Chain A
Amino acid sequence: MKYVDEYRSPESIGRLLALIGRRSRNPVRLMEFCGGHTHAIFRFGLRQLLPPTVSLLAGPGCPVCVTSQPDLDRAIALSRVRGITLTTFGDMLRVPGSTGTLQEARAEGADVRVVYSTLDALSIARDNADREIVFLAVGFETTAPSVAAAVLTAEDEGLKNFSILSLHKLTPPAMRAILDAGEVALSGILGPGHVTTIVGSDAWDFLSREYGMPCAVAGFEPLDILMGVYALVDGIESGSSEVVNAYRRNVRREGNLQARQAIDRVFCVRATEWRGLGTLPASGLFLRDAFCGFDAASRFPVRVEPAEEPKGCLCGDVLRGRAQPPDCPLFGRTCSPQHPIGPCMVSGEGACAAHIRYREG
C-alpha cells in the first residue's frame, strides 16, 4: 500500500532507532497525547525498541475513554427508546455505562447499528423514514467535521428523522489541563497527527509560548512516530521548545480550512465533562441553535441517574498520566478485555487495552 509500506520499512526503522539512540543523552519522558499513537506504539513494539533514556506515557487522547459516565448512560438510554435507531462507530459498542453497554442494550432489543461513517448513518435515515436515526457523535477534531457535514447534508435534504448526540471534544483544552495540573513531569509532547491535519500545527504554538513544552506533530506509521520522537529528543537536547511538524505530508500550519469552517458553522464551544479530567472550559462541541432540530439530546430527553465511577477504577489517573495501567488494582484482574470495567480497557486505543493486548512476550 502506497504511503503506508514505506513508513514500515524495517531497515528505515532500524536506522532511525540508531539515530535516536545516538542523539538521546538525558532521560526524557514524552507523552503521546493521542490514543492512536498509544495503539500503534504498542502494536509495533516500539517501546521495547527505544533506548532506555526515552520513556513514553499515554495521554488522554482517546475520545471513547474520556466520554463521561452520564454521557454514555444518555446514549444507552436513547438506544432503548422505541422507534430510535442508534448508529455508532464500533469503538463505543462495548464501553460499560452504569446499566450496561450498547451491545447489551442491543441484545435486549435496542436497535443499535455499527457504521463506519456518518454517510452510512444518513443512508440508514433515508431508507428508514419510519424510524428516528440518532448518530452517537464521539471524537475529537478529526471526526467532528464529518459529523458537521452530515448535519448540513440532512438540513439540505430536509431529512426529518436524523439527529446527533454530540459528545465531541477539543484537544488543546485537554493538553492544558494535563500541563496545568502539573502531576506528571513531561519533557515533550508527541502531537496528534490527524487532529492536527484539521486544526493546523499553529494550534500547538501555545505549548511553546505558555509552557515552554516541546511538541512534535507525528503521523501514525512507525517511521512517523519515530521521526516525532527523534524531533522531540533533538529539540530537548538542543534546549529548544518549538513545535515541529514531523507529518508534513498531511499537516499544514493552518490545517484544513474547509473542515474547520464546517465545525464552526454547525457547532459552538462550551464547557463539558471529561472522564478523568473533570469539567474543562471551552472543551466540548454542541450544536448551534440554528441546528437544534438535529440535536438528539433536546429532541429526545431521557432521564439518566447520577453515575459514579466504578470503585477502584483508575481510568481517570491513567488518562491524566498519573498512573500506568498496571498501577490500577483492577488491571488484569477484575478488569480485562473480556470483562472491562472502565473505558480504557475497552477502547481500541485505551492505554489499558493496549497494555494487555500488546504486552511484551
Chain B
Amino acid sequence: MAAKHELGEPVVVVEGVEKAFGAFVVLKDVGLTIRRGETVCIIGPSGSGKSTLLRCINALVPISKGSITVAGRQVNDPALDKLALRRDVGIVFQQYNLFPHKTALQNVMMAPIHVLKQDPAEVGERARRLLAKVGLSHKHDAYPGELSGGQQQRVAIARSLAMNPKVMLFDEVTAALDPETKKEVLVTIRDLAAEGMTCILVTHEMGFAREVADHVYFTDGGVIVEHAPPAEFFGAPREARTRAFLEQVL
C-alpha cells in the first residue's frame, strides 16, 4: 500500500531535461515532479536512460538541456555548490561501491567526519544507530569482503543516510543480489519510505513498486512514456508500450 503520511511540497523538479553522450541521445525532454515524502519508482527496459536520469539529479552527470531543481537548488547551474547538494541527496548504487579497505562502521562514518567535519564521537553514535536500523549492529568491524551482497548494500544505504539527506536515490540496488538477500534490502527501503524519506528508485522489482510506491514512471527510449499511481499503472496502463513492457516482465 502507498505511504500513509502526508506528501509535502515538491522537492525534486525535473523539466525538459535532455542528455546526450556525443551523438547518442539518452534522455529526451524528461520532466517529473517529486514531492517531499513521496516514494517514486522509475521502471523501464535497459538503456532507457533511467540510471542516467538518477545521476543527473545529483549532479554526477551534467545535463545538456533543461533544468533540475532539488530542495531549492538549481542542479544544472554551473555555480552550484556540489557539496551542499550532495548533503541533501544520497545515492545507493547497484554495485554497492563500499570502500573495501575500511570496516562497515568506518565506511558509514568517513564522509560525515571528513566532508561535513562533524565531531567523530557524535558521528560514531549516529553510525551505530544507522547500522542498527538496517539490521547490521553485529557487523560494525566487518570489512566489505566479509559481508554478503545484501549486507553490503545495507551498509551502503546506511552510509548515504549518515549524511542526513532529504532525498534518497536508489539505482537498481537489488539487481546484483540473489532472491533471498533482495528481500532484506527491499524491507529496509520500505521502512525508510514509511518513515517519510523521499525516495526515488530505479528498479525492476514490480512487486515492490506496486506495494510501496506512491507513483510509478515508465521510461523507454529516453522519454517518460507514462506515469501514474501504482494501482492505475499496473491495473490499467494507458499506453501500448507500457502494456507491452508489463506483459514481458509480469
Pairing of A with B = no
User: Measuring CB to CB, which residues of chain B are less than 8 angstroms from any residue of chain A?
Assistant: none
User: Measuring CB to CB, which residues of chain A are less than 8 angstroms from any residue of chain B?
Assistant: none
